[in-house]
Structure 1
Amino acid sequence: MRLQNVLGRKGEDLAAGWLTERGYIILRRNYRFGKAEIDLLAQKGDILAVVEVKMRRAGHLQPLDLSIGQKKRNLLIQAADHYVLENLLDVDVRFDIIYILHFQDRYTLEHLQAAFSPY
C-alpha cells in the first residue's frame, strides 16, 4: 500500500474516532457514487455530516475552506443527495472538513463544520 494511502487511512481513522467521541455515529466510510467518494458519513441527531478528511504534514498552510475545489464539492453534493435518497433519510445535510496536521507521531485535528454550502 502506498504511503499516501496509509496516511489517508490513518487520517480517516483519527477523524472517525474524534467524531465518535463527540457523539456522532459513523454510518459509512468511503461511500462511492459515480466519480465521488465521501470519506465519512456521520450522523448526530438530525444532522448528517458529509465529511472530507484532509491529512497534511505540518507546515502546510492552505486555508481549510480552499482545500476542496468546486468540482470536488459538486461531486460530494451529488453523492450526498444519492445517499440520503437511497436510505430514505430525513436529515439536514452539512458538509464538513476535518483537517489533520501531522508531524512525526503527533497529530492536530481541526473540524470545520459547514465548510461549504450545497447551494
Structure 2
Amino acid sequence: MAYHNELGKWGEDVAVSYLQQLGYVILHRDWDYHHRDLDIVAIDNGTLVIVEVKTRKNEQFADADEAVTVQKVRSLSIAANAYVKRYNINLDIRFDIITVVGQPTGTNEVRHVKDAFLPFI
C-alpha cells in the first residue's frame, strides 16, 4: 500500500476513535457507491452524520479542509442520497469534515467542523 493510502487509513482510524470518544455510533467506514465513498457514517444524538476525513502529514501547502471541493461535495451528496435510500434512513442528516494533521509516529491535531456544507446533486 502506498504511503498516502496508509496515511489516509491512519487518519480515518484517528477520526473514528475521536468520534467514538464523543459518543458517536459508527455505522460504516468507507461505504462505497459507484466509485464514490463515504469515509465515515455515524449517528450523533439522532442525526445521521456523513464525515469526510482529510489527512495530511502537514499543512505546508494548504489547509486540509480546503481539499473538499465543489466536485467532492457533489460526490458526497450523491453517495449520501444512495445510502439513505439503501438503508431507509429517516433522520436529519449532517455533513462534517474532520481534518487530521500529523503522522502515526508523532503527535497529531484533529479538527472537527460540524455542518461543514449543505448537500446538493
TM over 0.5: yes
Alpha-carbon deviation of 1:46? 1.8
Alpha-carbon deviation of 1:57? 2.0
Structure 1 gaps, min length 5? none
The reply to whether residue 13 of structure 1 matches residue 13 of structure 2 is yes
Q: Is the 8 A contact 1:64 1:97 kept in 2?
A: no
Change (3 A) 1:10 1:81: same
Change (3 A) 1:97 1:106: same
Rounded Cα–Cα distance in structure 1 between residues aligned with 2:70 and 2:106:
32
What is the identity percentage for the equivalent residue pairs of Structure 1 and Structure 2? 33
The reply to whether residue 30 of structure 1 matches residue 34 of structure 2 is no
- What is the aligned length? 119
> Which residue is equivalent to 1:53?
53
Alpha-carbon deviation of 1:63? 4.3
Name which of structure 1's ranges 81-90 and 24-33 shifts more when overlaid on structure 2.
81-90
Alpha-carbon deviation of 1:58? 2.4
Local SS of the residue matching 1:59: coil
1:109 maps to a residue whose letter is V
Rounded Cα–Cα distance in structure 2 between residues aligned with 1:64 and 1:10:
15
Q: TM-score when scaled to structure 1?
A: 0.91
2:59 maps to a residue whose letter is G
Alpha-carbon deviation of 1:64? 5.5
> Which residue is equivalent to 2:119?
118
Alpha-carbon deviation of 1:44? 1.3
1:39 maps to a residue whose letter is D
> Which residue is equivalent to 1:85?
85
Q: Which has the higher strand share?
A: 1
Q: Is the 8 A contact 1:46 1:90 kept in 2?
A: no
Q: Is the 8 A contact 1:35 1:75 kept in 2?
A: no
